[in-house]
């Protein structure tokens, strides 16, 4: 496959590894369509792919990567430990299945949800540290961890996660938790950056996009990047995949950045980690 060489900056994680700041998300990409959609994303120029055991589409991601003919080491693949596998042995077996699906290596492996109402998050983090030392898992991190969950890991004397993947978009900026992550040296990954499509049709974002001469999607994704977060929008359309990559030849002013942040109204696109209780 011949693909464009898109310039993507990297962010250095607290374990010394560098992650591409922009990638491609696969939540709600149906398993049967995943190989085709991810192949289109690779063709568009994406090399950072975000999947999860919960999405049921890791095999499709792995097949698209293998079919691309591009060396596996040119990709950054993130996947996530499912809620049903927090216990040590189950975590190891789930990791082995993910490794098999994703070409034998996981670049970044996250605890998908803390489920702190059931478990001590320190126990699942110990299981993550174990798979990182024993299996082909390079970096480990968390997702949807609250400040209290992060504090619990530190209090238990465990390692600091490399990233916390949390909801962040113009309607739910999540700035307090973002700041708490930065303070602990944890990189922030912003999920549902486009609020799962709710940003489209927003009159203020439409006006700003017109002012900048870009699309609403590009303005919002650029806002996420300029805040220093890592981001991986999802799209099923090759044209929109390309649109979402074209973010490195313009900048938002401080005033424009502030006008996007001012859209915050506390509306989440996804579940609140303090009450999300799905265990399949």
| Residues that bind ligand NAP in the complex, under the rule CB under 6 A | 25-28, 50, 143-144, 165, 191-197, 200, 217, 232-237, 240, 243-244, 270
Indicate the residue whose CB is closest to ligand NAP.
25
Query: CB–CB of 230/163 below 8 Å?
Result: yes
CB of 39 to ligand NAP, least distance (A): 15
The reply to whether 112 sits in an annotated binding site is: yes
Of the pair 65, 195, the CB lying nearest ligand NAP is at 195
Spatial CB neighbours of 101, under 8 Å, sequence gap ≥ 6: 58, 59, 61, 62
CB of 233 to ligand NAP, least distance (A): 4
CB of 110 to ligand NAP, least distance (A): 7
Sign of the C-alpha dihedral computed for residues 41, 28, 259 and 209 taken in this order: positive
Query: 55 catalytic, yes or no?
Result: yes
Give the whole-angstrom CA distance, residue 147 versus residue 181. 8
Please state the φ and ψ torsions of residue 22, each to the nearest 5 degrees: -120, 135
Give the whole-angstrom CA distance, residue 33 versus residue 30. 5
Of the pair 105, 240, the CB lying nearest ligand NAP is at 240
Q: Which residue blocks in 108-243 are alpha helix, DSSP H?
A: 121-134, 147-155, 175-183, 203-212, 216-226, 238-243
Please state the φ and ψ torsions of residue 158, each to the nearest 5 degrees: -90, 170
CB of 43 to ligand NAP, least distance (A): 15
- In the set 7, 46, 55, 171, the catalytic residue is 55
Of the pair 89, 265, the CB lying nearest ligand NAP is at 265
Strand partners, 25: 50
Of the pair 250, 254, the CB lying nearest ligand NAP is at 250
Please count the other Cβ atoms lying within 10 Å of the Cβ belonging to residue 254. Answer: 8
Q: Which residues are catalytic?
A: 55
Q: Can you say which residues are annotated as belonging to the binding site for substrate?
A: 112
Residues at the binding site are 112
């Amino acid at each position: 496959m011949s693909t464009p060489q898109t310039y993507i900056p990297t962010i250095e994680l607290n374990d010394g590894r560098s992650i591409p700041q922009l990638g491609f998300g696969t939540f709600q990409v149906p398993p049967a369509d995943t190989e085709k959609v991810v192949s289109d994303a690779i063709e568009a120029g994406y090399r950072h792919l975000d999947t999860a055991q919960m999405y049921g589409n890791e095999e499709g991601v792995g097949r698209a990567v293998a079919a691309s003919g591009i060396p596996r080491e040119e990709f950054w693949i993130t996947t996530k430990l499912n809620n049903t596998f927090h216990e040590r042995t189950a975590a190891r077996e789930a990791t082995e299945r993910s490794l098999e699906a994703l070409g034998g290596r996981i670049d970044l492996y996250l605890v998908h949800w803390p489920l702190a109402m059931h478990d001590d998050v320190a126990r699942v983090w110990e299981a993550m540290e174990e798979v990182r030392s024993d299996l082909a898992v390079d970096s480990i991190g968390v997702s949807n961890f609250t400040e209290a969950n992060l504090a619990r890991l530190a209090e238990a004397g465990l390692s600091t996660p490399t990233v916390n993947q949390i909801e962040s978009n113009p309607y739910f900026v999540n700035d307090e938790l973002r700041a708490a992550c930065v303070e602990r040296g944890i990189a922030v990954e912003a999920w549902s950056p486009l609020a799962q499509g709710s940003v489209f049709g927003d009159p203020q974002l439409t006006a700003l996009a017109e002012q900048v001469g870009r699309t609403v999607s590009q303005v919002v994704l650029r806002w996420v990047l300029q805040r220093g977060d890592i981001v991986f929008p999802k799209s099923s359309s090759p044209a929109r995949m390309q649109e979402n990559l074209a973010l490195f030849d313009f900048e938002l002013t401080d005033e424009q950045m502030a006008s996007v942040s001012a859209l915050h109204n506390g509306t989440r696109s996804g579940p609140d980690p303090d009450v999300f209780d799905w265990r399949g």
